[in-house]
A and B are shown apart, each in its own frame.
Chain A
């Protein structure tokens, strides 16, 4: 049976080889023919023939195994394809489920993304720290170092397979498993260890309980402002202190870019998926198109006309797509709301495309752009910019609270999260402040310093105010629950975890509880972080020795040398590791397959695992394909960021 299959497989392998040779040579001949028709020289033709023929296996494979399937899956993502059933076009419905968190699929996808975010936020830094420490240890040329390098790297080759993961699963048995037993023994040796261990359990359970609450979608109240305020304050503080440098300008730019991009994704995924689409998005698209053209024209960019054409086509396509979703009737006031921005943009674009490119066109474009911007603000204002929402800013500056009523569960649970200002405004404010500081730069040192310090202070105030307010918010739930005698479902796992310091026989529950499943996975990824270690090692080897010697002569100690020389020199490797780690966090599969239990699957699974389950277990291929394309967009963005940023990082260090 099996041996027959192997022969069958060998036969096909042989056929494949013949197919590859034939198709590669055909490809080479075709390329050569084209080269001849284009009048290239004989040697050029020969080179093209050999080049295409030898690269042929990959090019042929690309069409069969990458391009074809990728296009097919893109198509599936707009259908309700289920294996064995007829497929129907459903437009954006699949994407809407995932991005707007509709139904169980949406919730599960949202949870999976939050799990991946957890791995990226907690797991990746820990993994990188482990890798860095390992690399620093291994960067000594001492006897036996080869052996240690080998041992430190070894987990990487094992961790991809099921065997060692099974061993981990066994070692992580909750009650009586090796890890817990050993930790308990160590903790029992000395009372300080015991307190440390219990403190660790307490901290982990509190944090993971809090995260579980967020993943579950419990409102966090005023705490939603704390993170952006802290981030804004932190970066402004970094920009404010010490001398101004090119590195700081880059920091401000990069921070603004990353946060801006994240904001854009969030807004776009919500806004463009909504049904019906808010016309404000059409205004924004129009402004972006006009701005792009004006900018390119200002630069006198050679591909201007091409871009213009593409933008024009894209705007019209967008318009058709949006309008097609509605019952189109010119007299309808609703339709006119959509037509206005489209018409304005299209008019401006057509004008710019046809007419000669002069200073007057710029002005006209700018005029249209301004008009659209005003309309956009008007469109947005009733929802977001009224006094009640903006008051948040004022209240925190005067140490007030934004909670109007703390004795009404419905207000706390439902009304407050909707009626208050979105935290995105805080991110926007932070971005504006960073860009302001960067723009003032060297030219206006006084103004820059004032803006940076003032901004940092202001944001710190927001952070403190919102944190205190958030605490009051959490306490309000507790009071209400006690008064009514009902259980408190708001962040219940977190509340349970912080209620009591663990007694001395408590153990981590690993795969038996969603409070510990993610840390278990992170522990295993830390154990196998050897790839990052090697990349750090390579980077460390490239740091010129002279730099250290010079620093030593200057009397710098080990820590200073590390911070001032090593860290900056290996920052490209660091960034590379971070991005690779994040992408891996989205794609974890084997570990989850082996570790999961029915109870912890939801709190453990990555987007890639969910995708596998959804397509191959529930056979919803359409939804699976939509998930995969959301993943593709995220991973592509991360990779592009990695390429762009690593270039600039290397530049400014060199």
Chain B
């Protein structure tokens, strides 16, 4: 231990801590840091770029060289083909519809529940909250099959209901927990003051707490949006009908085409159109999102 701390002492002894030395040291460090950051960014962005590049190739180019990222002449007709495909439209609309409905239902109900768990003092809250947290540990597999049987009894298979309706019941204890953690940080005095003014809990929820919880609501919205937009398993199990297919199924089914070689340029074009909404939402909300996790993540 003792010997290892020598370099610092040596530097000091030789007067190498002069401002100029320090300056150039910092410069070298900065260059190294940026090199690493840019290298990392390339690694993380590459599959996306590859997807876009491939989607603009011809089938011959797809078969030929695998090292060129962008084709010489971009084949926009790959996209045109998709946009002329009515099943593509249908899948897109279905996805938009499902995700919007789930967002509306889930965010509203989750905010009620989180409000109750954080801002209201009631007997039994601890027990119910503990119960909710314990469901976090229960993996979804435990309930997957009986739920299927239940929806089957309800005659809900081959409808959107099994995917959208559960959200209305504050689906996802993790979301409630995230929002509750945030709501706990809002000063108590605010709702006490409102209470003295004669407001009931619903009014406090709407006028005091929700406006202040915007960053956390934005965070869970993005979580939910991304999760739902990407969701493959549930639609796969429940929709079973092409008129109802969502985008993830549409994209994944491209792999099932009995064609050899597989038209990767078409698969990738559909993939590009599939990820665009996720990317756009992410770009616009990532500030809330990343900060949101940094603030609540350390407690979770």
A–B contact with Cβ pairs below 8 Å: the answer is yes
Interface residue ranges of B31-57 to A (CB < 8 Å): 33-34, 36-37, 40-41, 43-45, 47-48, 50-51, 54
The chain B residue with its CB closest to the CB of A52 is B122
Closest to B4 in A: A560
Complex Cα spacing A154 to B244, Å: 29
Q: Is B275 an interface residue (CB 8 A)?
A: yes
Q: Which of A48, A140, A616, A627 contacts B237 (CB 8 A)?
A: A616
| Chain A residues, CB < 8 A from B143 | 65-66, 69-70, 73
Tell me the complex Cα distance, A539–B298, Å.
6
Contact with A along B274-300 (1 / 0, CB 8 A): 110011001100110010011101101
Say which residue of B41, B120, B226 sits within 8 Å of A152 (CB atoms): B41
In the bound complex, residues from chain A placing their C-beta under 8 Å from that of B97 are: 6, 9
User: Would you give 18 A-B contacts (Cβ < 8 Å), ordered by A?
Assistant: A9-B159, A50-B122, A52-B124, A55-B112, A58-B176, A65-B169, A66-B135, A68-B150, A69-B147, A151-B44, A152-B40, A166-B251, A167-B50, A182-B67, A185-B67, A535-B297, A542-B298, A635-B137
Contact B5 A554 (CB under 8 A): yes
**CB proximity of B15 to chain A, nearest CB, Å:** 15
Which of the segments B70-78, B186-194, B210-218, B264-272 contacts the partner chain?
Answer: B264-272
Query: Could you tell me the distance between the alpha carbons of A343 and B83 in the complex, rounded to whole angstroms?
Result: 76
**Chain B residue at smallest Cβ distance from A1:** B243
Interface string of B134-164 (1 = CB under 8 A from A): 0111110111111101100000000111001
Contact of A9 among B141, B150, B160, B270 (CB under 8 A): B160
Docked pose: A140 CA to B36 CA in angstroms: 12
State in angstroms the CA–CA spacing of A160 and B169 once bound together.
23
A155 to B40, CA, bound (A): 12
* Given known contacts A13-B101, A134-B40, A538-B298, A69 and B146 CB-to-CB distance under 8 angstroms: yes
Segment 67-85 of A: residues with Cβ below 8 Å from B: 68-70, 72-73, 76
Interface members, chain A 622-654 (any B CB < 8 Å): 624-625, 627-629, 631-632, 635-636, 639-640
Chain A residues whose C-beta falls within 8 Å of the C-beta of B51 in the assembled complex: 163-164, 167
Q: Inside 8 A of A50's CB, which chain B residues have their CB?
A: 116, 120, 122, 200-201
CB distance from B80 to the nearest CB of A (A): 19
The residues of B with any CB-CB pair to A shorter than 8 Å are 4-9, 12, 30, 33-34, 36-37, 40-41, 43-45, 47-48, 50-51, 54, 66-67, 90, 93-94, 97, 101, 105, 109, 112-113, 115-117, 120-125, 128, 131-132, 135-139, 141-147, 149-150, 159-161, 164-166, 168-171, 173, 176, 200-201, 205, 226-227, 229-233, 237, 243-244, 248, 251-252, 254-255, 264, 267-268, 270-272, 274-275, 278-279, 282-283, 286-287, 290, 293-295, 297-298, 300
Bound CA–CA A311/B43 (angstroms): 57
- Contacts of A539 on B, CB cut-off 8 Å? 298
Q: Would you give the shortest CB distance from B67 to chain A, in whole angstroms?
A: 5
- Set B6, B117, B226, B255: member contacting A594, Cβ < 8 A: B255
Cβ of B226 and Cβ of A160 under 8 Å apart? yes
Of B67, B138, B160, which contacts A5 at CB under 8 A?
Answer: B160
Assess the A149–B66 pair: CB atoms within 8 A. Answer: no
The 4 closest A-B pairs by CB, nearest first: A61-B169, A51-B122, A555-B8, A161-B230
> A575-619: which have CB < 8 Å to B?
576, 583, 586-587, 589-590, 593-594, 608, 611-612, 615-616
Q: Report the bound CA distance from A616 to B234 in whole Å.
A: 12
Q: Is the CB of A148 within 8 A of B274?
A: no
For A163, the chain B residues whose CB sits under 8 A away are 51, 251, 270-272, 274-275
A contact residues around B251 at 8 Å (CB): 161-163, 166
**In the complex the two chains form, what is the Cα distance from A555 to B10 in whole Å?**
10
Contact (Cβ within 8 A) A555 B160: no
Q: Which of A65, A154, A166, A635 contacts B271 (CB 8 A)?
A: A166
Nearest chain B CB to A14's CB is how many angstroms away?
Answer: 10
CB neighbours (8 Å) of B145 from chain A are: 69, 73, 76, 615, 621, 624-625, 628
CB-CB under 8 A for A58 and B170, given A35-B123, A44-B123: yes
Q: Does A527 count as interface, using CB distance less than 8 angstroms? A: yes
| Contact residues in A for B279 (Cβ distance below 8 Å) | 154, 157-158
A161/B278 in contact, CB under 8 A: yes
Chain A contact surface mostly:
helix
- State the CA gap A586–B139 with chains docked (Å): 10
The answer to whether the Cβ of A547 comes within 8 Å of any Cβ in the partner chain is no
A245 close to chain B: CB less than 8 A: no
A158-178 residues with Cβ-Cβ distance < 8 A to B are 158, 160-164, 166-171, 173, 176-178
Q: How far is the CB of A596 from chain B (nearest CB, A)?
A: 10
Name the distance in Å between B119's Cβ and chain A's nearest Cβ.
9
Q: Which residue of A lies closest to B160 (CB)?
A: A9
> Is A178 within 8 A of B8, CB to CB?
no
Shortest A397–chain B CB gap in Å is: 35
Q: In the complex, which residues of chain B have a beta carbon less than 8 angstroms from the beta carbon of A5?
A: 159-160, 243-244
Report whether B43 and A527 are in contact in the complex, using a CB–CB cutoff of 8 Å: yes
Chain B contacts for A53, CB-based, 8 A: 116
Which residues on the A side are within 8 Å of B227 (C-beta)?
Answer: 160
In this complex, the interface size class of chain A, counting residues with CB under 8 Å from chain B, is 35 or more
Question: Apart from A55-B117, A154-B282, A628-B145, what 10 extra A-B contacts exist at CB < 8 Å?
Answer: A6-B94, A9-B161, A16-B105, A148-B41, A151-B44, A153-B286, A154-B44, A173-B66, A615-B144, A631-B141
Q: Indicate whether A538 sits within 8 Å of B7 (C-beta atoms), given known contacts A6-B97, A594-B252.
A: no
Contact status A58-B168, CB under 8 Å? no
Contacts of B232 in A (CB 8 A): 161-162, 589-590, 593
- Given the known interface contacts A2-B93, A589-B233, the answer about A150 and B169 at a Cβ–Cβ threshold of 8 Å is no
A142 contacts B66, CB within 8 Å? no
Residues of A20-65 at the interface with B, using a CB-CB cut-off of 8 Å, are 20, 31, 35, 40, 44, 47-48, 50-55, 57-62, 64-65
Residue pair A151, B41 in contact (C-beta under 8 Å): yes
Kindly report which residue of chain A lies nearest to residue B112, judged by CB atoms.
Answer: A54
| Residue contact A541 to B243, C-beta cutoff 8 Å | no
CA distance A177 to B141 in the complex (A): 35
Contact B5 A556 (CB under 8 A): yes
Contact of A157 among B9, B200, B278 (CB under 8 A): B278
Known A137-B37, A534-B290, A628-B141: A9·B164 in contact at CB below 8 Å: yes
Is A360 in the interface zone, CB < 8 Å from B? no
Residues of A within 8 A of B275 (CB): 158, 161, 163-164
Whether A47 touches B137, Cβ cut-off 8 Å, given contacts A5-B159, A152-B40, is no
- A218 touches B (CB below 8 Å): no
Contacts of A608 in B (CB 8 A): 139, 141
Asked if B113 and A556 sit within 8 Å, CB to CB, the answer is: no
Is B278 touching A158 in the complex (CB atoms < 8 A)?
yes
Q: Are A155 and B44 in contact (CB under 8 A)?
A: yes
**Is the CB of A261 closer than 8 A to any CB of chain B?**
no
Residues in B neighbouring A20, C-beta threshold 8 A: 109, 168-169
Report the nearest B residue to A160, measured CB to CB.
B230
Name B146's contact: one of A72, A149, A527, A531 (CB within 8 Å): A72
Residue A545 interfacial (CB < 8 Å): no
| Residue ID in chain A nearest B120 by CB atoms | A51
